[in-house]
Structure 1
Amino acid sequence: MRSVRMYREVWPLRTPLFTARGSRNEAEVVVVEMEEDGWRGVGECAPWRRFGESVPSVMAQIASILPHLERRMTREQLQQTLPPGAARNAVDCAFWDLDARRAGQSLAEYVGVQLDSAVENASTLQPDEPPHMAAAARARYNRGARLFRIRLDDRLISERLVAIREAVPEATLMVDASETWHSDGLAARCQLLADLGVALLEQPLSARDDAALENFIHPLPICADESCHTRSSLKALAGRYEAINLKLDKCGGLTEGLALAAAAREQGFELVLGGASCTSRAVSAALPLAPQARYVDLEGPDWLAVDVEPGLRYEGGRILLD
């Protein structure tokens, strides 16, 4: 007998989170619990407003398949029943968690990968005045952070980046423009980033403007985030992007995540492993993909005022797993 339930959770952030699309003070997630033969698996997702998702819409999607899940729908059947997105992610990860626990293994062991005792993780710098961003970068660098994800909108780009680079000359920098830039002037901005030693530029243009990147010569790798969801996205990204940001909430769970990672690497794309505002449950589900990623950006739980128990430990720009 299998029982399945879902519910909403709200987790306050320790400080407001500012993005190119607004700000938030809390992480709102949907949790799926699956119990079968005395074993319990849990999955979590964070709906993406950018893709038209909300907590009610995600819960409605899950509710539509609850009878099938309780009648022993398989993880493979799930892939054909729900589209890629947050709802499928929560259910898919509950399946994986249940199966790993039943096998008496950690999720990474069950997937067949070995995780290091510490995973280097990006530290996010929010859009702010240049001196404030530089001071934040320096303070985190002094506490051990070596990899930074810089959120930028369309203003003070050079001023912010120059200030940050002067503050942390040895750090690895990634820039996330979150679809806020335009094709006019993009070449000059890419050259600025390259001159400052930025390692990666993420989603500079709106996904609908990807054609502008066709045969666009640029001096640093460009990473697709909003433009990449599943393996079916990869064909259109060739010749436009060199990397993809893989997020379980976009691709629909660890099942597609593993397949997407393998296909992307086979086709020559580098991987950034990303996430959302979430608890350690969601990050734990994504960590089996970390060994395949060039950069890991799973900072969600570190922004929370309080996390699930037991939660992951974040320290000095790393996720500690020992």
Structure 2
Amino acid sequence: MSRKGKSITLSISERDKTELLTLAQEWGYLWGERANISGLIEAIARRQLKIAPNNNWSELRIKILVKIVGILTDGGKIEEAKIIANLLLERSELSIPQRQKIEKFLDNSPPPWRLEIDSYIRRQQPFQLSYQDAASRLWNFTVRHAEINHREKREYLECWCEETEGNLDIPELMHNWSLRLDRLPETAIVPIDGKWLPSLDYIEVEMHLLRGLAFAYKSKSNDIIPPEWLEGDKRVRRVVRRVSNTFWFFREVLQYGADCVVVSPEKLRSRIKQKLLETLEHYS
């Protein structure tokens, strides 16, 4: 195979040479079966390939896209997260810590069982799984609805299950379970026939916010009625929320202390009152 034309010498690092070879391979500029940098450069010179800036994205755009990768990952949309992650790695604006974070994400792909669960949720496919709790007890669940949510730095599979034995929540929510994803055995998930439910079970909870919290509170996605001032009392704000799990609800409202009062339903109000009395006893 003859080769004609004037030669040039490129003074580049091995890393840059590797990148050029990769680009030549991707765009089909080959010498035999090997990537051809000369062919790539010739195509650029002849304007067969367009050169565009790779450093004109704002810092805000980069930060938002990095955050979206995390949101998609937490929501179980791993493939979508990978697409954006690879797009970010192509950008020169990415800081070293951001690049390391994205590379770590791509190098640590979710295990097959996690991808399987994500697939079942997308397809609305009921499934069965085994779960080992903190006391090393093994539970078997038949799942008819599931969501993956991020709570307190961990991911949880929040699901509606046929089984209720051992669930300590109020009767209306005993079909709902919150299972830590890192406790799911890898080989204990199988699809089953049957109907997929549209959502978890929910109850409506009314809260009154007092003092500084009344002004500082920002509406959350599961608030049915946005915060509103009580008629005749501009010091108290009313919030009505959908709640699927009282454990997580209590962990939120108890941190507000005396600035948050659960008004209804009565059975939930009684439970939180009992928790506060038990706490008070520890200080007696």
Same fold (TM over 0.5): no
TM-score, normalising length: structure 1: 0.19
TM-score, normalising length: structure 2: 0.20
Q: Which structure has the larger Rg over C-alpha atoms?
A: 2
